[in-house]
Every structure is written in C-alpha cells, then in structure tokens.
C-alpha cells in the first residue's frame, strides 16, 4: 500500500509543478529555461510538464481544488515578479503538501488513487505526529 506521502510525490507535486510551469509560460511569457531556473529544476522537466508527459495524471483533479489553485497562484506571482527564489519554491512545495495534509485533501486523493479499506484512518493519525 502506498503512503499518503508517496501519493503526494507521485501525483500531487508533479501536478502542482506542471500547473505553475504552464501559468508562468502562458500568462507571464517566460521561457522554459527561465521557469526551470525559478523552480530549481531542469528545462527538460519543464518541457515534459508542458507537453503533458509529466504531471498530467491528476491535473484535472488538481484544477478543481480551490486551495491548490490559490496556492499555485501565490507561488506563480512570487516567482514571476522575482519576490520568490528557487529555494523559496522548494519550501513552498513543502508548505503546499503540509497544507493539503492538514486540510484532508491529501487523504481524499490518497483514497482516490490507492485501494484502501473503507475504515482507513491513517491520515488523521499522521496529523498528530
């Protein structure tokens, strides 16, 4: 069985990065290289995000979650205007993941992606760690 953190790494974070990269390119007209530098990843990764080879599996679901879109918007604006660095973007991804866990979004996605028993109560226990 995959843990909620594994689900976040495999589905949530790539969708979040993909969304941020696409907005920076389309709305702020940044190049793939500039976006890669701001996110602290490679241009090749940005290319995969924009061509839907990476991060697209849960993009539709991601875009329906207002909390995630709002967090992405905040990050995009900070990266676009230079107020946030690539180090800040890494910290922001961690903040996003923690916020999703505390608001039960991660557990909802976890149950959607992994076969769990109906009585699973792992996520609430993680909150108390």
pLDDT tens digits, one per residue of 26-73:
999 999 999 999 999 999 999 998 887 665 556 666 677 788 788 889
In a domain, 59, yes or no: yes
Task: Give the range of the structural domain holding residue 25, as residue numbers without chain letter.
Answer: 4-114
Q: 59 to each of 1, 18, 89, 123, how far by Cα in Å? A: 23, 8, 19, 22
Asked, for residue 123, whether it belongs to a domain, the answer is no
- Is 127 within a domain? no
- pTM (predicted TM-score): 0.76
Number of other residues whose CB lies within 10 A of the CB of residue 50: 17
Measured CA to CA, the distance from residue 92 to residue 86 in angstroms comes to 10
Across residues 66-93, what is the average pLDDT? 89
Task: Domain count for the chain, please give it.
Answer: 1
- 21-30, 68-77, 90-99, 111-120 — most confident range: 21-30
Does any domain span residue 129?
no
Residue 30: both structure tokens together = 């940044």
- Higher pLDDT, residue 32 or 9: 32
Query: 128 with 30: CB under 8 angstroms?
Result: no
| 26 domain-assigned | yes
CB 10 within 8 A of CB 54: no
């Amino acid at each position: 069985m995959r843990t909620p953190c594994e689900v976040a790494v495999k589905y949530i974070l790539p969708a979040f990065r993909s969304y941020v990269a696409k907005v920076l390119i389309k709305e702020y007209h940044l190049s793939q290289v500039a976006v890669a530098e701001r996110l602290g990843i490679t241009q090749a990764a940005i290319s995969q995000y924009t061509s839907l080879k990476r991060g697209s599996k849960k993009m539709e679901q991601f875009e329906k979650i207002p909390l995630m879109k709002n967090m992405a918007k905040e990050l995009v604006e900070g990266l676009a205007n230079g107020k946030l660095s690539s180090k800040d973007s890494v910290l922001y991804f961690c903040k996003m993941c923690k916020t999703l866990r505390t608001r039960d979004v991660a557990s909802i996605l976890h149950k959607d992606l992994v076969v769990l028993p109906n009585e699973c109560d792992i996520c609430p226990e993680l909150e108390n760690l």
